[in-house]
Structure 1
C-alpha cells in the first residue's frame, strides 16, 4: 500500500447502491446514471437566459448550452447529439464568439432549446447493462421497397416505395426502413431494449448523431419520438450484407395485388352502407379508414392477416385480391359479420356461387348488390402498374355486394 493514501472525507466505507461520482448519480439498483438536479437547473437557467432576449443572443451562450447538453451523454445517450444539430450549425457559422444573433426566425434552434428546457428532466436514462428483454430487429431497403423483421418471431414489416421515395438517396431509404420497422413494431417492443441491425453504415451514423440534411434529420427525430413515446431504448448496429439476407429479400417483394378503390367511390358506398369501421385488405398508403389490416406490419396497422381476426361487431370494408374473394365470404359467414365486398363481375370465378343461386337469386346473407359500369372511376393503381386493375386497363363491370351474416 506504499504511496496510496485514501482521502477519508471523500471516501465511502460502507457498501452503497447509490453514490454521486464524476458528475452523475450512479444508481446501481436500476443500473443507470441519474442527472443531478443541480445540472438540470443549471442547463434550464442557461437556456432561459438565451430565450429571455431572443433578439440578441451571444454565440458563446449557445456554445455553453451545447457543452452542458453534450456532458449529459453518458446518462441519456445520443439524443444529446441529435437534438443539438441546429444549435451547432449556428455556432459553426460564427465570425466571432461574442457575435450576437436574432434567433426569432430560426425555428429549428428554438425547437431544440425548448426541447431541452422542458424535457431534460423527463428523459429516461440509458441502462448501463443490456436489458434481459432485448429485441433484435433486422432492416433493409432496396429500390423496390423496405422490409424488416423481429428475430425469432413471425412479425414482418413491408412497404413498397412510392415514385417519390424511389428517387431518394440510399441512405434516406435505409433510415426510412428503420423508422418504418420501429413504428410498425412499436406495440410489440414497447418497454424494451431494441437492437436494430442494418447493412448501411451511413444509416447507423445518422441515427446516432443526426444529420445536417433536413430530410434525414426529420427521420431521425421521428425515430427518437417513437422510442420516447413507447419507452424503447434503441441501439443501431451495422452488419455485413450477407448477414442481412432475409431483410434484403423482404425489401424486394413485389405486391402484385397493390391496388385499391378511389376515395370518391368509397365515400359513395360508405354513405350508402356505412359507416364502415375497418379496412380489412389495405396498406398504409391505400387504406380508406384509420383502422386497417395488411398482410405485413405497417405503421398504423391494427393486425396482420385479416383472416386471423374476428370480424364480428365490425362493419367491414372488403376489397381483397380476387383470388381471396371466396375465402373472404366464407370467413365473414363464419364470424357472423357484416361488410361490403367489392369484386369484378366474373361469373366464372369461385366466389360467384357463394353470392348467387341459379337464376341470380341472392344467397341468404346477401342483402343487396349494385353494379358499377365505370371501372376506371373505381379502381386506383398502386405500385404494381402491371396489375389488371391499374391505370384504367380493366373495362369490366364491378359489383358492390352488401353482406350480412349476423343470423347465419
Structure 2
C-alpha cells in the first residue's frame, strides 16, 4: 500500500536562506503525525510547504500518488484537498458558526450543504451553538469550529499549525485527545506542528523531531523516548541527564552511581568512555541505597514530586519521588539506579547513533 503523503528530500528556502534540508517521511491513510522541535527549526515552514503556501527548492511532495510540489511546479492550496487549522483559528467574525463551517462548501447544493454542516456540528458537539458568532465562544469552542470547517470539505489530509497554543494546559490536553478521536473516527490523516512533546505524544502515531532544519528522527513516541537516535533527540524528548561512564562489556557500563547492566549490546571496545542517559524513572528513592545525593530543587506535581539532585561528583540528575516523600533543598537523600534499558553515546561523538 502506497503512502497517502510522501515527502522526499525536501529543501525549503527564503531567498537564499536555507530553512529545511533533505527532509523525507511518509504518512499512511488514517495516521496522525507530529512535527516536533524548538522554535526556528523549520516545522511551520515544512507545514506551509505541504499546504501549498511555500515553494520547494529541492525534492518533491506527493499526495495520494499525485505530485503536488516540486521545484518546477506547485499545485495551488485550494486544489490539494488539504484542510488547514491555524493557530489563531482564522474564523470569520461576521459569520455565524454554521456559516463559518459551510464557507468552503460552495459546490454543494443548499440541502447537501445544510446536511454537511449539521454533520460537522454533531461531530464537534456544537449543535446548540450553530447560530452564535465567534466572539461569543470560548477559545476551545472556536478551535472546534475551526476543525469542523477544515473537515467539512472532506479533505484527504488535515494540517494543524500549533492549534492549541492559545489554550490553557488542561483544555489543551482535553482538546488534543478530542481532536484525535474525531480524526480517527473519520479515518483522516493529519500533520500537527507543535513544540509541546506532551501534546505530540498524546495525539500522534508518528513524531518527526526537527532541529536546525533537519529531521533528526521519524518514529513512534515510544521509540523516540526509549530509542533516541542521537543526543539531540535524547535531550529534547523526555527529561534526562547524561552521566559519564566506562564500558566494561558490550552490555555493561561503570558509572559513579554503580555498574549498569542493560538489555542491549554496544559494539564499542571495553574501556570506551561513554555518556549514559538517565531519566527520572531510572532513579528511585531508597533509604538503604548506597548513593547519597543532595536536593538542589523540587517541583510538586500532585501524585509525585520531581527532585533535581546533585551527585557527589557534582553531576546533576532528576528523579520522580512519591509525593509523600518530602525533602528540603540542601538535604541529602539515598537513591539507587534501576536503569536496565541502557542508552549510551560515545564521549567523543556529539551526534552518535544508537547501536541497533
TM-score (norm 1): 0.23
- Structure with bigger RCO (C-alpha 8 Å, 6+ apart): 2
More strand as a share of residues: 2
Which entry has the higher C-alpha Rg, 1 or 2?
Answer: 1
**TM-score after normalising by structure 2:** 0.25
